[in-house]
Amino acid sequence: MSGKFKAIVIDNQSEKFSRDVKELDLSFLDQGDVLVKIDYSDLNYKDALILNDGGKLVREFPRIPGVDFSGKVLESNSNKFKKDDEVILTGCRVGEIYHGGYSQLAKVNKDFLIKKPNNISTRESMVMGTAGFTALLCALAINAREAILLGEKVNEVLVTGATGGVGSVAVMALTKMGYNVTAVTGKPENTELLKKLGAKNVINRSEFEGEPKILGKAIWDGVVDTVGGNVLAHAITQTKHSGIVAACGNAGGVKLNTNVMPFILRGVKLWGIDSIQVSMKRREFVWSQVEKLIDFKILEELVQVISLDELMNIFPKMLKGQTSGRIVVDVNK
């Protein structure tokens, strides 16, 4: 196949960082064994960091960013995929050390791709993206208290950063699992939307500021924390005996001001969630759960679809905490 395609390219020549929408030749894609015509990508916090200045994640330039994409196979040198297969890619260091999804074409390693489940569209898969995938990993970690550890039933679950991409999907998925979800947000104007997603209660993030106690009142059977920092420290002190805290974010800081008491007196389990180095078997399992845990009709109210050009103006807002919900990138718009 020959031809040109459009993509965002970041570069760092003579320590001068740049980002531009460019027209490229197919020869620019110099790695991988499966060529994909991309339908959609999305915007995650990591993407915003990379678009800003590389985020200390991109070492070699020039690079096409974008950690996620969905689309259709054009060419394949692998017997795992054939022409016209619809595929999903999330994570796998794509957009960092490999060319990524902010492009009309991608050429990637066959082991980075999974076949899209028949019951969702390529657009819906990017409404999920890394954020939604991470949210389901978190929800399944909370569920592990009763399903794997054979502990008491999970009832009360806290979700921090609940209006963000991970938090909003987590609220919905945990509600679908039958749990009572309390959402924490710094955007009280989104209270009704969070309740539509399934939250029973909504509390202000200000309640999680200040110095955390050594042990607070035990309230939560499980916590999905997308913020980190002091918010996570407070949530840990409020977790009940044998509760699970699934931690996946650091927008509130990378340092954790906590102590050993919740862990040795209450048996609290801090479960780190990584969505990049996940086995293919687990990826396929998580995506198979989307149909029963996600209502895209409701989630659609949180979706904004933008072009590559519009993305250049929106990513700084995410870094400032001025976005909510899911931002889907239509690379052909």
Q: Which domains does the chain have, with CATH numbers?
A: 4-116+295-330 (3.90.180.10), 132-272 (3.40.50.720)
User: What pLDDT does 1 receive?
Assistant: 53
pTM tops 0.85? yes
Point out which residues pair with 42 in neighbouring strands.
Answer: 328
User: Per-residue pLDDT for 15 more than 90?
Assistant: no
pLDDT digits (tens, 9 = 90+) for 200-251: 999 999 999 889 999 999 999 999 999 999 999 999 999 999 999 999 988 8
pLDDT digits (tens, 9 = 90+) for 296-312: 999 888 899 999 999 99
Q: Rounded mean pLDDT of the chain?
A: 94
Bridge-based pairing state of the strands 220-225 and 239-247: parallel
Nearest to 74 by CA among 111, 120, 108, 119: 108
Contact predicate 45/316, CB 8 Å: no
Whole-number percent of the chain with pLDDT over 70? 99
The mean pLDDT of 156-175, rounded to a whole number, is 95
Contact predicate 126/296, CB 8 Å: no
pLDDT band at 158 (very low <50, low <70, confident <90, very high): very high
User: What pLDDT does 2 receive?
Assistant: 57
User: Per-residue pLDDT for 145 more than 60?
Assistant: yes
pLDDT digits (tens, 9 = 90+) for 166-206: 999 999 999 999 999 999 999 888 899 999 999 999 999 99
Range 34-62 burial, b when 16+ CB lie within 10 A, else e: bbbbbbbbbbbbbbbbbbeebbebbeeeb
User: Per-residue pLDDT for 55 more than 60?
Assistant: yes
User: What pLDDT does 207 receive?
Assistant: 93
Q: What is the DSSP letter of 66?
A: -
pLDDT band at 69 (very low <50, low <70, confident <90, very high): very high
pLDDT band at 252 (very low <50, low <70, confident <90, very high): confident
Give the lowest-confidence range in 2-11, 108-117, 225-234.
2-11
